Amino acid sequence: MRMSFTPKLFCCLLLFFIVSVGHSQERSCGMLEYMEEQMKDPEFARQYEENQAKFKARLREVLANEDFSQRGAGTIVIPVAVHFPTGNEADRACLEALAQNQIDILNADYTATNADLSNWASASSFYPGVNPGTANISFCLAVSNHPAGLDPELLEGNPCVTIGYDFGGGNNVDANWAGYMNFVVRPIGGSVLGFSPLGGSVAAGQAVTINTFCFGSGAGCPGSSIVPSSPFNLGRTTTHELGHFYNLDHTFAGYSCASDDGIADTPNIDSESYGCPASGSVAACTLGQYSLTMDYMDYVDDPCMYLFTVGQTNVIDTYVSSVLAPQFKPDVCTPPTPGFSIVANDSPVFSCPTSGDDAVFNFTYSTILGFNENTTFSATGLPAGATVSFSPTSLSADGNVTMTVGNIGSTAEGEYTITVTGTSASVTKNVNVLLKNTCTTIQCTEYASAQNLNLPIIDGSSGNPGTPILEHIINVPTSGNIDSMTLNVDITHSYVSDLIIRVYHPNNTDYVDVWYTNCSGGYEDINVTFDDSAPAIVCDDPTVGTYAPYSPLSAFNGMDAQGDWTILVADFFAQDTGVLNDWSLNICMEAPLSVSEFSGLHDFSIYPNPNNGSFTIKLDSDAQNPISVEVFDIRGRSIYNKRYSATNEFDEVINLNNVQSGLYLVKVSDGQRAITKKIIVE
């Protein structure tokens, strides 16, 4: 019987039980539904796949070298921020204590120092070869260098706990909190205890979300309706959901004995356990083995879950060290000393097309622990010829600072990292901002193979690809960052669902599968243009049109387009064959609107500037070539183009009729040499 691949995205099912929150409630987790929704976002999916690739590469090294004890250079400290969007500010002391209580629980659970691990002594005889694992991490509630302007009651030196702050606008992601391990405690609805991304991103500001009745332990904070309730009142919901963030699936992943969580020392089981089953009372899939019901990634009540296995902590340590560690915000767990912070509120700033001849940056200056020394501001890294001014030039109390970079019109185009320095008698601090002094447009170019390639696609067998796998290369000679792209593939084949079509970036590492055994059921031939913005594939004989690829081509965005692009076409089943007729790439890249300045155009000037659409161009040229004047709007469209006779002394009035107010680019050339200047029409 012919088969087709259905990729396995995730292994758990969301359980929304319509029951009241109370002592009889069963644990439920919303990880899968959350991931299925988020994976519809191409950028989320791209980041997820990138992080998984890093994790898998490192895990292979760990397993190959049996490198279970040396998973990093020392314990990795994870800075935590806790958010109570529905909490009351009057309960701050209580909510801060509850946050610290949950941190203490996590530190015990993840390092196998929790008191109830003593239960393992009597349970271990049912699980030969299984041992509790100790993760090489520790958690701290951040106390310094808090993000500015988000919660007025979040003070330097106090725990990083926000109250009443609408984290991510109710979503699970907030870029303001990139660098922290975020916990959001809020009502979720239904009986779901919490949810988390599977393999989360600290850099993206993602969070673990926990319901108000299962965060921390003890009496909670009744004034804010955040009270741990039995049987989920020992903080283990956060332990469980955080396991997902660190790439752990449920122990019952897949709900089938044919699939498991991918970890060798957790017995394979086909369903979750609830309540408090006795050790060794639930049979596993393999005869003589038992479900590890006390594992944090099962569904039992808080008092009856108390361990991760060694295999699970290997996954945790590998994911944290290979993916998350570089993303953590540094030095936020050390109590602050008197001083100040400078935060850039807008970077990068573009001098083209919107801000004319000046680029304006805004900063927030905040004092710490009563600091009152006078701080002056300066900047380095400016483009040659630019001016800089600060308003005010110094501060000794909290306030806002504006930096204006002027005279940009006379500077060379490019991107400039500007370092702004605040200097007082005892403290010096820097912050970097990016000035993008560039004017670009998006230009799309097609790069195509020869027609009628007639390259054979070797027949596969029983889920194995036919070899050699068909490979073909298209060279892109132009360098530039990819803004977007489409891919066309024309294949003649008698059963197209046998095929996987993959395209590799010239770095030979990054790739996208555009066709993954699509159109099962006997369809023949495809001539498809794959476009991320297009609808899902509609199968036909042949399948022709513009459709969304299996994986988004946006994975290549931002990469350099130059080099050899490779297409791979593999057939995975017997009886049907075909050929690759041709293929092509249409790549859109960011490109300059004009060439840079060259010597030879002397005493160049445009005046007046700003103007009302009428201005004069003067220059001396030592070439005997005609002089061209072209004017572009901010979208790169030519709105004026005129050619003048060769002359050594050029002096002409240019009239732009009825143009709108705004910024324009004037390009003047005398053959191969050109200069571009910005003008402002008022």
CATH number assigned to the domain comprising residue 108: 3.40.390.10
Q: How many structural domains is the chain composed of? A: 4
Are 190 and 117 contained in the same domain? Answer: yes
The pLDDT of residue 674 is: 72
The pLDDT of residue 441 is: 62
| 8 Å CB contact between 495 and 573 | yes
Given a cut of 70, the residues of the chain with pLDDT beneath it are: 1-24, 64-73, 190, 352-357, 409-410, 439-442, 590-602, 623, 634-636, 672
Domain of 394 in residue numbering reads as: 339-438
Are 404 and 445 contained in the same domain? Answer: no
Are 289 and 239 contained in the same domain? Answer: yes
**What number of H helices and E strands is found in the chain?**
6, 32
Are 358 and 506 contained in the same domain? Answer: no
Closest CA to 135 of 254, 261, 271, 245: 245
The pLDDT of residue 430 is: 93
Are 581 and 525 contained in the same domain? Answer: yes
14 in a structural domain: no
The pLDDT of residue 21 is: 33
Are 525 and 617 contained in the same domain? Answer: no
Q: Which of 327, 348, 380 is the last residue of a domain?
A: 327
| Separation CA 453–CA 456 (nearest Å) | 9
Q: Which of 259, 294, 327 is the last residue of a domain?
A: 327
Q: Which of 96, 156, 241, 272 is catalytic?
A: 241
412 in a structural domain: yes
5 in a structural domain: no
Q: Residue 366 maps to which CATH number?
A: 2.60.40.2310
Beta strands in 310-381, from DSSP E residues, in sequence order? 339-344, 349-350, 359-368, 375-380
Q: Residue 636 maps to which CATH number?
A: 2.60.40.3080
193 in a structural domain: yes
Are 387 and 249 contained in the same domain? Answer: no
Are 505 and 387 contained in the same domain? Answer: no
> What secondary structure does DSSP assign to 585-627, as a single string?
EEEEEEEESS----TTEEEEEEESSSBSSEEEEEEEE-S-S-E
Tell me, yes or no, if 241 is annotated catalytic: yes
Are 191 and 309 contained in the same domain? Answer: yes
Q: Residue 514 maps to which CATH number?
A: 2.60.120.260
Are 351 and 306 contained in the same domain? Answer: no
Q: Which amino acid is at 33?
A: E
Strand ordering across the sheet containing 601-607: 601-607, 614-621, 649-655
The pLDDT of residue 635 is: 57
332 in a structural domain: no
Token pair recorded at residue 578? 């075909």
15 in a structural domain: no
Number of residues in the chain: 682
Q: Which of 302, 327, 352 is the last residue of a domain?
A: 327
1 in a structural domain: no
Are 557 and 606 contained in the same domain? Answer: no
Are 462 and 557 contained in the same domain? Answer: yes
pLDDT tens digits for range 603-638: 778 888 888 899 999 888 776 788 889 888 765 677
267 in a structural domain: yes
